[in-house]
Structure 1
Amino acid sequence: METTLSERFAILGHPVRLDVLRLLIRRHPDLLPAGEIAEVLGLKPNTLSAYLADLLRAGLITRTRSGTFLRYGADLVGISAMTGALWTDCCLGRPDLCPPTAIMEHPGDIPMTAPRHYRVLFICTGNSARSIFAESILRKIAGDRFAAFSAGTKPQSEMNPLAVKMLQSKGYEIESLRSKNVAEFQGPEAEPFDFVFTVCDRAANEACPPWPGQPISAHWGTPDPVKSQGTEAERMLAFQHAYGMLRNRITAFAALPLEALDRISLQHALDDIARNQEGSQ
């Protein structure tokens, strides 16, 4: 039986079900096992199971079998259909009631703006390795088009020594790099960003306030090399893998024809980069 619009909103009216959907949207295009969702949100497995069933019934999330696990993700088509139905049903398609920038029948009609420099922020938890790599890579390969920054939700007091060593060995300028808190880029006086990327799962799991200016965001989850163990040579391999994965993604991002893409097409392209780009050694 098809779920009505009012039933879908009733399902999302429960704060924890809404938290589940928010988490899956923040982690898109990742597909998460129920155990990870329960751990992040502090839920009992049987309670989460009921919430997932409700969201599936509403057509707001997907469920995919991967080996012996079921993995869940945000159903962007279903979410779009729900917001589109709200605009048609309740607002009667009137843009003065439901602004098209928030709820649109054809959201792809909004083009990407074309400033001289796109401002890009990379976020991870510690801002000691992965986001520092991303900031450095984008600045080096496309600094004429992008102003790159990085920050951490819980930044370390200093950058990881092995991350610094790797950047130095590859000829990167490191004198201006430092670990920073995301708070430095928030607040009423902060300059808006065009793109905000999370490069670690922990940072993507955290509920952050909306960024001013509605930047396009994406999650490019990258294994944490700081957690690697073994000899220094073995640990450096983990740093090389993270660096290679990010370099491939950022190279693909910098090659996109940004001025020719509308926001929806660009969002899809960024999600595809997350799915398709592999790390290199």
Structure 2
Amino acid sequence: MATPGDPRRLFRLVQEGRLRALQEELQAAGGCRGLAGDTLLHCAARHGRRDILTYLVEAWGMDIEATNRDYKRPLHEAASMGHRDCVRYLLDRGVAVDCLKKADWTPLMMACTRKNLEVIQDLVGHGANPLLKNKDGWNSFHIASREGDPLILQYLLTVCPDAWKTESKIRRTPLHTAAMHGCLEAVKVLLTRCQYEPDCRDSCGVTPFMDAIQCGHIDVARLLLEKQKEGHTAAVQTLLSLGADISAKDERNRSALHLACAGQHLACAEFLLQSGLKDSGDMTGTLARQLTEETGALWGFDHSPVT
């Protein structure tokens, strides 16, 4: 059992928000770090203990820019957990808003993993740059596309109109990511406000449409296809043509039908067949119908895999 003055007890007091008990015992332990190199400030920020954060900074003069072993600072912790009061306190104290943790993640990137628009607004309002990229080539807009909150995407596009012009190191766009995760409302925003190149493909030749099909998100796949068919203007037609290339294939010569069947997403496979996609062999000659157990239901006859 932890005894008074034990660092483990101090961290537990911070987690539980017991400021008075912390005040009584902190003198005996002084500044300390946890197993991951955390300071008590990291702990307070992570758990949203604004009163304790204030006490540690103003009564003990603890370093608000202290880093742990992952180079996280208290601002990273508060932003990643969506604790707006702690974020605003740290920003008002003048912390570096675009500080980097391991893998080059900024506090804004971490805030974009949460659907907390106000925290994102606070960070951007204090100068956070949405265009910075982490080691994988993702900027904050790309990360927000994975979470799929349309209000956050709309806000980032308003304050930084070029935020959508980004690709990861393997050439995946925010549209790829939103489609893969089935974020229908996010996809609607991306198709309306952004201008992706026709048939945008990642380094493996995969399009957003193929991502949606492979992961079973038929609503997203249907949107990508149906929007193109509307063809209200030439600009919209060009923008959405990536969803129209229903016969596109990846580097292994697999079509969207192969991906749907391999994932046993039968509704998606049926949708593709009804939309006119024909089955064909991949680079090994394997047909899509050989990858699903429900060939009879989809093609109207039994098909045994070639041995």
Rg comparison, structure with higher value = 2
Give the number of the structure whose residues are more often strand, by fraction: 1
**Normalising by the residue count of structure 2, what TM-score does the alignment of the two structures yield?**
0.25
* Structure (1/2) with the larger helix percentage: 2
Query: Highest relative contact order (Cα 8 Å, sep 6+), 1 or 2?
Result: 1
What is the TM-score when the length of structure 1 is the normalising length? 0.26
